[in-house]
Amino acid sequence: MIHIQKFTFSPIQENTYLLWNEKGHALIIDPGCYFTAEQETLHQFIKDHQLTPVQLLNTHCHLDHVFGNKWVSKTFNLELYIQPKEEQVLQFAPNSGLMWGLSFENYTGPLHFINAGDTIYLDEDELQVILAPGHSPGHVCFYCKAQQFIIGGDVLFLESIGRTDLPGGNHQQLLNSIREQLFVLPDATVVHPGHGPQTTIGHEKKYNPYLQM
């Protein structure tokens, strides 16, 4: 069984997710820890719960989701997993940081590529990789069918959707991704988004103003 802990980090208020199982093995998804105190918060939680991080993943590579990649990689000896189209986004992230007044040291280590239909294994637990571009070119979500939740990044929010005015964004593509990739999941599926509170697929089908037919 997978346990989920959310941390909200950086001036951009990004949601970082730590997923772990009964063996204490953990996934770190979208580490947005920008300040040293935020790194310490994440590190202390991992130590307190006696967890061993085994994989570092990004749903996409906008700056607020990659602030902590280098620190996580160095601290836990992990290499980064992303969708191939996000490599260029990752490389551009420090320039975005300068524009936001949030300079940071980018991850420059080896990259491992994940694609639609791949499975992320946390021992016996599985997360399906869903490709959902529109907010960014290679945005992926991580879906756990057994426990009916999805780590959704910046695709779908509580009664909102991801912005599409950044380089590589496409509004219609994002709407198509949500309708064709996320809205086919069970209504009870809990969405853990990259910003703000969690929601469900059923709630968004009914109340999301951007997705009413």
pLDDT of residue 213 exceeding 80, the answer is no
Residue range 95-123, pLDDT digits in tens: 999 988 999 999 999 999 999 999 999 99
d(CA 12, CA 120): 27
CATH number, residue 183: 3.60.15.10
Residue 37 and residue 43 in contact, taking contact as beta carbons nearer than 8 Å: no
Name the one residue in this structure whose structure tokens are 């346990």: 3
> What pLDDT shows up at residue 173?
98
Tell me the pLDDT band of 212, cut-offs 50, 70 and 90: confident
Q: What average pLDDT does this structure show over 130-156? A: 98
Residue range 61-72, pLDDT digits in tens: 999 999 999 999
Q: How many domains does the chain have?
A: 1
**For residue 114, what are the domain limits?**
3-211
pLDDT of residue 4 exceeding 80, the answer is yes
Percent of the chain with pLDDT over 70: 100
50-54, Cβ contacts within 8 angstroms, sequence gap of 24 or more: 50/24, 51/18, 51/20, 51/24, 51/25, 51/26, 52/24, 52/25, 52/26, 53/26, 53/27, 53/28, 53/78, 54/25, 54/26, 54/27, 54/78, 54/122
Cα maximum dimension of the chain: 47
